[in-house]
């Protein structure tokens, strides 16, 4: 059923006007059980709803039910007469269409051609392009043209920003802000949801909750709901207590740890800002003798051109940058501005026409480009991760495949499930798990956030922050870049590359300043880092401050000890060959786990104190 976080079952009373769509007692059987059972849903004419839930929770299925594309197994669906419902699918099929325009105008309910072409002009898409050779971004734009030109009363958006560049996302946000109808959006783009939504639907363990707050208030609502649930189960059995404890701490703890990582990120941005030349150009000053030894990629006055004669185009012009070990580099810009070319230059896939790119001899790269289609649907998850075995080598540390699956938010029992049974987002998460296990010191992420749920994005942020090497990220997810990168490379399509110490918001702020003013001001995020109180001067006691600084390292050491003991105890012959060692390791493992729990609780307490002081 539909519930409000604190108010219990939620009926029609929250609706100020009559709903355009209602569903009572919605039920759908999937496989051997109910995917949904007893859900209720009411949508008002001006609702702007964010639909939130883990990958595999059934978000896309719920949109298809609302659109009438699939039939429910039970429940009463009521739609106000004349209501036009349009679904923008995440991956629409273009099979059977010669051109993108053929797709946009197909069917009896096709929109008017002039409306489609008007939107296409604003989005900058040529609909005469062959459908089968079109890129993901071109197909997404064509699907948007069809959906928006159809004059919907209720618009259902399944990951609408996937494959769109920043200019197209800005245009879509502007269109939706003027739109007079209702919409429900599934999206990993926090900025998109925060700017546009006024209510949130949360699909969690087959229960649908609604709260009339935009996505900006979702995370606080979620933590409150889990905390209330944990308190409500205190008198139940131990298994339920453990589950409730995990729900409360698994979500809240990760976000608190990420707050600490954000503080460290701001400090790193300030350090990199100090190394940029006053004009904000790509050339970095060498501030210490060991800078050269820390450099992993050095680009020196690099220019790259394609074509010849009148068709010649300069993609990258006079670009210089010294990338150091541990840098997190974000690459942004419109489609066709040269982001992929820049990545290929930095990683050595192509050579420049002018200038030089030098890479450290010890550089070992891993590229994660979201090619989840390469995962065979017939393979089991353990086949993908551990070649069918029980153990996987994760950057030199041996881990059990079930434990590793849990780290990436999978039920450990899914180790023998087929890849084909996973949702698109779950396959992306599986691909991340496989690639992050490989030993490397350079990680290249091409649109890593596509199709991921918000909890996985939090996890990805955490994994990237803890990665010991250098990271290059191409993404249109503005919030993700703001939480992750130390330097942003912004391409404007003319060949010039802006280099900003900070994230997307810092690059955007720089672009909006007059040219003269931009050169005189430090990047915004770096200013914040420089003016923020030094961690050493927080109003904590000496012991509190020492614990806050040292506990993360101690937790990492305990994690390593736990992994070693678990690996040793996994030997089936250990007990019979050396019972004393078995007992000793068992006790040591128990103690290490208890110490880790205590350390994490203490660090979270201190993190909350620091956060409460305005950090």
pLDDT per position as a tens digit, 567-584: 787 776 777 788 788 778
Burial class of 396 by CB neighbour count within 10 A (0 to 12, 13 to 18, 19+): exposed
Q: Which residues contact 112 (CB under 8 A, 6 or more apart)?
A: 149
454 and 574, same domain (yes or no)? no
Number of Cβ within 10 Å of residue 145's Cβ equals 27
Give tens-digit pLDDT for 238-255. 444 444 444 445 555 555
552 and 608, same domain (yes or no)? yes
pLDDT at 537: 42
What is the domain range of residue 386? 376-439
Q: What is the CATH number of the domain that holds 590?
A: 1.10.287.380
> Is 186 domain-assigned?
yes
| Alpha carbon distance 403, 497 (integer Å) | 42
59 and 185, same domain (yes or no)? yes
Give tens-digit pLDDT for 391-449. 998 887 888 898 889 888 888 888 999 998 887 778 888 888 888 888 889 999 888 88
74 and 162, same domain (yes or no)? yes
pLDDT at 89: 93
> Is 257 domain-assigned?
no
Number of Cβ within 10 Å of residue 200's Cβ equals 24
% of the chain at pLDDT higher than 90? 38
Q: Which residues contact 136 (CB under 8 A, 6 or more apart)?
A: 162, 163
Residue 20: both structure tokens together: 């355009």
406 and 452, same domain (yes or no)? no
> Is 255 domain-assigned?
no
pLDDT at 290: 36
> Is 73 domain-assigned?
yes
| Alpha carbon distance 493, 315 (integer Å) | 7
Please tell me whether residue 22 adopts helix, strand or coil conformation: strand
Unique residue bearing structure tokens 């203490």: 602
pLDDT at 232: 62
270 and 346, same domain (yes or no)? yes
Continuous segment of H or E residues that includes residue 256:
helix 238-275
Please tell me whether residue 380 adopts helix, strand or coil conformation: strand
Q: How many domains in the chain? A: 4
Mean pLDDT calculated for residue range 215-231? 81
427 and 576, same domain (yes or no)? no
135 and 284, same domain (yes or no)? no
Q: Which segment of 129-138, 401-410, 430-439, 518-527 scores lowest on mean pLDDT?
A: 518-527
166 and 104, same domain (yes or no)? yes
> Is 321 domain-assigned?
no
Binning pLDDT at 50, 70 and 90, where does residue 481 land?
Answer: very high
Q: Regarding predicted confidence, which is higher, 258 or 396?
A: 396
What percent of the chain is helix, strand and coil (3-state, nearest 5)?
45, 20, 30
CA geometry: angle 222, 223, 227, nearest 5 deg: 120
Binning pLDDT at 50, 70 and 90, where does residue 605 land?
Answer: confident
Q: Which residues contact 233 (CB under 8 A, 6 or more apart)?
A: 240, 241, 243, 244
Of 439, 467, 486, at which residue does a domain stop? Answer: 439
169 and 47, same domain (yes or no)? yes
Give tens-digit pLDDT for 28-48. 988 777 888 889 999 999 999
115 and 131, same domain (yes or no)? yes
Give tens-digit pLDDT for 490-505. 998 889 999 999 999 8
Q: Which segment of 57-66, 85-94, 97-106, 132-141 scores lowest on mean pLDDT?
A: 132-141
Binning pLDDT at 50, 70 and 90, where does residue 259 land?
Answer: low
Unique residue bearing structure tokens 């649930």: 229
Residue 243: both structure tokens together: 């589950």
Of 216, 244, 279, at which residue does a domain stop? Answer: 216
207 and 148, same domain (yes or no)? yes
> Is 551 domain-assigned?
yes
> Is 371 domain-assigned?
no
Of 483, 509, 528, at which residue does a domain stop? Answer: 528
pLDDT at 85: 96
Residue 11: both structure tokens together: 């009926």
Unique residue bearing structure tokens 């219990």: 8
Q: Regarding predicted confidence, which is higher, 277 or 33?
A: 33
Render 214-231 in DSSP notation, one character per residue.
-GGGHHHHHHHHHHHHHH
> Is 240 domain-assigned?
no
Question: Per-residue pLDDT for 279 more than 50?
Answer: no
Mean pLDDT calculated for residue range 59-80? 93
């Amino acid at each position: 059923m539909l519930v409000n976080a604190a108010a219990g079952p939620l009926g029609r009373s929250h609706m100020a006007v009559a709903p355009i769509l209602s569903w009572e007692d919605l039920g759908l059987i999937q496989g051997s059980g109910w995917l949904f059972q007893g859900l209720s849903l009411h949508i008002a004419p001006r609702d702007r709803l964010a639909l939130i839930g883990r990958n595999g929770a059934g978000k896309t299925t719920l949109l298809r039910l609302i659109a009438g594309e699939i039939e429910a197994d039970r429940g009463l669906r009521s739609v106000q007469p004349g209501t036009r419902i349009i679904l923008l699918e995440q991956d629409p099929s273009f099979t059977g269409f010669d051109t993108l325009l053929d797709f946009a105008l197909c069917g009896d309910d096709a929109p008017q051609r002039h409306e489609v072409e008007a939107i296409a002009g604003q989005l900058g898409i040529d609909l005469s392009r062959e459908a089968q050779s079109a890129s993901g971004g071109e197909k997404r734009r064509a699907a948007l043209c069809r959906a928006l030109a159809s004059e919907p009363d209720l618009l259902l958006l399944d990951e609408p920003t996937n494959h769109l560049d920043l200019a197209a996302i800005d245009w879509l946000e502007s269109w939706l802000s003027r739109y007079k109808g209702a919409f429900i959006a599934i999206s990993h783009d926090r900025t998109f949801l925060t700017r546009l939504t006024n209510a949130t639907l949360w699909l969690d363990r087959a229960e649908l909750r609604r709260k009339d707050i935009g996505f900006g208030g979702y995370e606080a609502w979620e933590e409150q709901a889990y905390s209330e649930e944990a308190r409500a189960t205190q008198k139940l059995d131990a298994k339920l207590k453990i589950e409730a404890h995990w729900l409360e701490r698994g979500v809240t703890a990760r976000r608190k740890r990420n707050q600490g990582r954000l503080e460290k990120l701001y400090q790193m941005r300030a350090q990199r800002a100090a190394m940029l030349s006053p004009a904000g150009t790509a050339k970095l000053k060498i501030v210490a003798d060991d800078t050269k030894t820390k450099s992993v990629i050095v680009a020196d006055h690099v220019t790259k051109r394609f074509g010849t004669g009148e068709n010649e185009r300069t993609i990258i012009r006079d670009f210089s940058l010294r990338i150091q070990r541990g840098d997190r580099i974000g690459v942004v810009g419109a489609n066709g501005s040269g982001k992929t070319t820049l990545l290929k230059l930095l990683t050595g896939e192509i050579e420049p026409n002018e200038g030089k790119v030098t890479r450290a001899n010890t550089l070992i790269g891993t590229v994660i480009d979201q090619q989840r289609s390469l995962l065979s649907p017939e393979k089991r998850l353990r086949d993908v991760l551990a070649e069918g075995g029980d153990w996987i080598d994760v950057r030199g540390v041996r881990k059990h495949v079930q434990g590793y699956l849990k780290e990436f938010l999978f039920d450990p029992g899914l180790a023998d499930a087929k890849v084909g049974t996973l949702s698109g987002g779950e396959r992306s998460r599986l691909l991340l798990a496989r690639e992050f296990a490989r030993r490397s010191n350079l990680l290249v992420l091409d649109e890593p956030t596509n199709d991921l749920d918000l909890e996985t994005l939090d996890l990805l942020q955490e994994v990237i922050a803890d990665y010991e090497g250098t990271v290059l990220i191409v993404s249109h997810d503005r919030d993700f870049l703001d939480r992750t990168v130390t330097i942003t490379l912004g391409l404007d399509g003319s060949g010039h590359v802006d280099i900003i110490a900070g994230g997307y918001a810092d690059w955007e702020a720089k672009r909006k300043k007059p040219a003269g003013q931009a050169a005189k001001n430090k990047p915004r995020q770096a200013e914040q880092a420089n003016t923020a109180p030094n961690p050493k001067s927080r109003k904590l006691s000496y012991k509190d401050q020492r614990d806050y600084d040292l506990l993360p390292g101690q937790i990492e050491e305990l994690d390593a000890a736990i992994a070693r003991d678990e690996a040793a105890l996994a030997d089936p012959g250990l007990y019979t060959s050396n019972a004393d060692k078995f007992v000793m390791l068992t006790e040591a493992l128990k103690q290490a786990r208890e110490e880790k729990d205590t350390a994490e609780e203490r660090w979270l307490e201190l993190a909350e104190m620091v956060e409460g002081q305005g950090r």
